[in-house]
Amino acid sequence: MNLESLRAPWLRRSLPALFLGTAVFAASADVSERPAPPAARAPLAPIAPIAPVAPPAPIGPLASELAGLGPHEFGHLMDSLRSLESLSSLRELERLSELTTMIDVEGIEEAMQSAMGDADVTISRFALNHGGDASGPEINETRPLKSNGRVSVNNVSGIVQVAVWDRNEVSIGGRLGTAQDRLEIAGDSNELNVLVRLPRGSRSGSDTVLELRVPMNARVELETVSADVVVSGTKGPVKVNTVSGDIALSLASSEVAVQTVSGDLKLKAPSARSTRVNSISGDVRLEGMSGALSLETVSGSVDLQRGGRFSEIRLKSISGDMNLDVGLTEDAKVSGQTLSGEITMIVPQAQTGTALLKSFSGDAHCEGAKTVENHGGKKRQYVWGDGHGAQIELSSFSGDIRVERK
């Protein structure tokens, strides 16, 4: 995951609260272990009046979810975030000294401070801790939208379902979580924005169900906190951003972008030519896409089945395992980097080209290829056929790397 993804709204809102919580924890632990001072002999001075205390600043939804983390769990989370910086430095693994670039704490903290300063405040629209069943008023709205128009939907909790039809308009149905929730619709036939707004100051709410029908070629952009997302049949570009909601997409789109923290993703897109997926701990299941694929994860597993012909694949992981069944174009470029996760790539039987596999302590194997260079088992160069064709380069610190044939 590149540092650009650290600019996500939830991270901007959550990190200050997390750092503050850690400082308070450390301070309280220090005070509890400090011996009590001896009693003073001089008379005590009068106590000045206590100034009123300002109310605490609101925190983001993710910060509230993580507020119960213990020191060990919090430390593990921060270690994972810091490890993201190391991926850009994962080039050669022959020398142990190179691993010092993987723990540039000052660099990653500076980057996070910059991200917090630049990130937008979209997440501030959302209230905290939403749950329950929809019990508010029913929704029945229709708005005009051009066949290639853009529709944007924001919902905190519940579900967002999107299907297509042959009309140049958007139908919005479902039910609000409570009678106090409001559905705000703004825009025109070029761009339509749908927002579920909760009561001011609300810290609890019920799930809102949104059911939309959109023109088949419309651009769809969805943003949720814990609400699940289901999209089917669209041909236009699709973009989904969620914190913990699960995502199920069955698309005819050529362009797909998904970003999630802990929600699982199931994506079937046989027409996709450009796919970008970013995940922290959510598992990723992909099927059928081709063209260009960029996939970054921290600990979530990745499984790509029945992939088409790819011209470019870029993989980055910390500890999540990756299993990819793909075809490759003659000039395909494949790069993959991981710390402790395993990478298994299955290519066609007639595959030609080269494979460079690098691992510091894990195993590396390339089926059906001739080894042309072997640097002590840590760096191996393989060749299929005459060496002309796809170029594969996979790197790992402790995870195993395997390239197999179908």
Per-residue pLDDT band at 105 (split at 50, 70, 90) = very low
- Model confidence at 173: pLDDT above 90: yes
For position 327, what pLDDT does the model report?
Answer: 96
52 is a domain residue:
no
**Quick check: pTM over 0.85?**
no
What value does the mean pLDDT take over residues 82-108?
40
In whole angstroms, what is the distance from residue 212 CA to residue 98 CA?
51
Select from 93, 123, 153 the last residue of a domain. Answer: 123
Q: Which whole number is the average pLDDT over 102-130?
A: 38
Give pLDDT, residue 399: 92
Q: Are residues 399 and 270 in the same domain?
A: yes
Q: Judge whether residue 10 has pLDDT over 50.
A: no
Q: What does the pLDDT read at residue 205?
A: 55
Q: Tell me: do 258 and 406 sit in the same domain.
A: yes
C-beta separation of 93 from 360 below 8 A: yes
Question: Do 187 and 265 share a structural domain?
Answer: no
For the chain, the domain total comes to 3
In a domain, 157, yes or no: yes
Same domain, 299 and 285: yes
Q: Is residue 328 part of a domain?
A: yes
Query: Quick check: is 382 in a domain?
Result: yes
Question: Both 16 and 68 in a single domain?
Answer: yes
The answer to whether residue 34 is domain-embedded is no
Average pLDDT rounded to a whole number, residues 285-291: 94
Residue 160 has what pLDDT? 97
Residue 51 lies in a domain: no
210, 156: one domain: yes
DSSP 80-123: HHHHHHHGGG-S--S-GGGGGGGG-HHHHHHHHHHHHHH---GG
By mean pLDDT, which of 196-200, 356-360, 397-401 is the weakest?
196-200
Pairing mode of beta strands 322-325, 364-366: unpaired
Whole-angstrom distance, CA of residue 140 vs CA of residue 346:
48
Would 42 be classed as within a structural domain? no
Domain that holds residue 328: 254-406
**Residue 245 contacts residue 256 (beta carbons within 8 Å):** no
Structural tokens at position 283: 């598992």
Q: Are 130 and 244 in a shared domain?
A: yes
Domain C-terminal end among 187, 217, 252: 252
- List the beta strands (DSSP E) in 114-168: 138-144, 150-155, 158-165
Mean pLDDT for the stretch of residues 17-44: 44
The residue from 202, 226, 252 where one domain ends is 252
